[in-house]
Amino acid sequence: MKGGKNVLGPNTGQPTIGGRRTSKGRRKLLNREEKWYGYAFVMPMLLGYFFFLFGPIVASFAMSFTNWNLLDELKFIGLDNYRNAFFGDPVLLDTLSNTLYFTILFVPLNIMLTLGLALLMQASIPGMGFFRTAAFAPVVTSIVVWAIIWKYIFQTDNGLINAVLKTFGVTGPAWLYSMELAIPVVVVVSLLKSLGINMAIFLAALKDVPMMYYEAARIDGASRWRAFWHVTLPLISPSMFLVTMITIIGSMKVFGQIYIMTGGGPGTSTYVMVYYIYEQAFKYYEFGYGTAIAFILFVIILLLTLVQWYGRKRWIHFEQ
């Protein structure tokens, strides 16, 4: 300090008092250093996102405008793949119909079953932890292993279900070879596989509902059903919204069960979008057409998600 005034440090340009930096100068220097530390920590994630996610997405989108099939010379064909998908491929329309059918069956059943299980398992009684673990265990089981086991269970001649039916004198159907039964069977298998995740979300939401609201409802003479409808559902509506979104997205992307259990058959009755993309790209090597279908699926999922997102204020109780 000279003449009662601050001077600048010789090298940093920061205010000093008697050759020492002021607290304000030290804070600026620390903030600058912390900013670079932050960039350094997030850089691996950003690089990984760019090279392994964003880059391939852009490359795939460009590929959808080509005829790349590993055999012919790569050519830019504009919107021909999309034109063929919408107007020249009847199998794609059946595939989209099958996917929507799977989603319509799967999503409501999943939400009702997982919410019901969560209501049953929220009680703190001895042994409840075992049942929660048992319900969640299929989630961590490989989808390939799960589908193979259930494929054997639903076998026509030697399957467990038909063997049990046979003991009662009933001839079981060809579960996985019936055009009417194949998708419902896969829906059941998918339900049993995925109950644990949504059940855990609902359990956490139910635990957060304050007991005073239930006590007030009882004082007002509300039945258990009315308490559930007017207290529980409004207060867990954010979790209901989350579960609905992720379940719809997951059902639109179903693949492993179809690939293992039915292979898209009988005929094309269990073709779903991701299976059809796989077939076009990795069986027929029509990578350009396969990526075009993939982006059609992306747009469908995006539109469904946006509809739910902008409609959330209608059914989330305290959404502003």
Tell me what pLDDT residue 7 has. Answer: 47
Please choose, from the candidates 250, 298, 258, the residue with its C-alpha nearest in 3D space to the C-alpha of residue 278: 258
In the predicted model, residues of the chain with pLDDT beneath 50 are 1-17, 19
Element counts in the chain: helices (H) and strands (E): 16, 3
| Cβ atoms within 10 Å of 92's Cβ, excluding its own | 20
Contact of 293 with 277, CB cutoff 8 Å: yes
The pLDDT tens digits of the residues spanning 51-66 come to 999 999 999 999 999 9
Task: Map residue 21 onto helix, strand or coil.
Answer: strand
The residue type found at 204 is: A
What distance in Å separates the CA atoms of residue 17 and residue 45, rounded to the nearest whole number? 42
Tell me what pLDDT residue 319 has. Answer: 55
Residues with Cβ within 8 Å of residue 36, at least 6 apart in sequence: none
Read off φ and ψ for residue 5, nearest 5 degrees.
-115, 155
Tell me what pLDDT residue 23 has. Answer: 64
Instruction: Identify the sign of the CA torsion 186, 191, 196, 202.
Output: positive
Tell me what pLDDT residue 39 has. Answer: 81
Tell me what pLDDT residue 125 has. Answer: 79
Residues with Cβ within 8 Å of residue 255, at least 6 apart in sequence: 272, 274, 275, 278
What distance in Å separates the CA atoms of residue 302 and residue 281, rounded to the nearest whole number? 22
Tell me what pLDDT residue 38 has. Answer: 77
Residues pairing with 7 in the sheet? 16
The residue type found at 190 is: S
Helix axes 182-207, 128-136, angle to 10 degrees: 140
Q: Provide the 8-state DSSP code for 2.
A: B
* 43 half-sphere exposure, CB direction, 13 A CA radius: 7
The residue type found at 7 is: V
Distance between first and last Cα of the chain: 55
Residues pairing with 2 in the sheet? 5
